[in-house]
Amino acid sequence: MRILVTGASGRIGGATAARLALRHQVTGIDRRPGPLTAEIVDVRDTGRIAPLLADLDAIVHTASLHVPDLAASSVGEFRAVNVDATRRLLAAAGEAGVARFVYTSSTSLYGDAMLPAAGEAAWVTEDLAPRPRDVYDETKLAAEEACLDAARQGLACTSLRMSRCSESHG
């Protein structure tokens, strides 16, 4: 398979690209260099990304602003990167005939729903409704909704709500 990984220089994107590269042809993009980043491009620049989508089988979209970016990035930047760029990438994927789109979301979007009630643990099931508490959570949820819209239009989309990631020390 031919797969594009956005955010390929980041922790999740880099690990994903490395694993996929064991069995597939992977093109990584990011705004900063990395071992599997073939193109230095901001995910907001769909015009530069669109030519890379020709003959792709799948896109794994990991590029986004994250919680540590809250202090240095505006609400507008979060929306531009996490939501607007995702919508444009989904549209470009559909136009290019990409068969699959995988979006890396976050369990963080559950926000205040994760607060235990009456000292009891909060269980995450399909019934737990997200209750975002910041712009990161809000934009991850909005990007999931964009994926759902694209799926309704025929693009096979999957949103993965990942838990927190940390570097391994072993």
The residues carrying an active-site annotation are: 136
In angstroms, the CA 1 to CA 24 distance is 5
Contact (Cβ atoms closer than 8 angstroms) between residue 102 and residue 89 = no
In angstroms, the CA 155 to CA 148 distance is 9
In angstroms, the CA 22 to CA 52 distance is 20
Residue 125 backbone dihedrals phi, psi, to 5 degrees = -130, 180
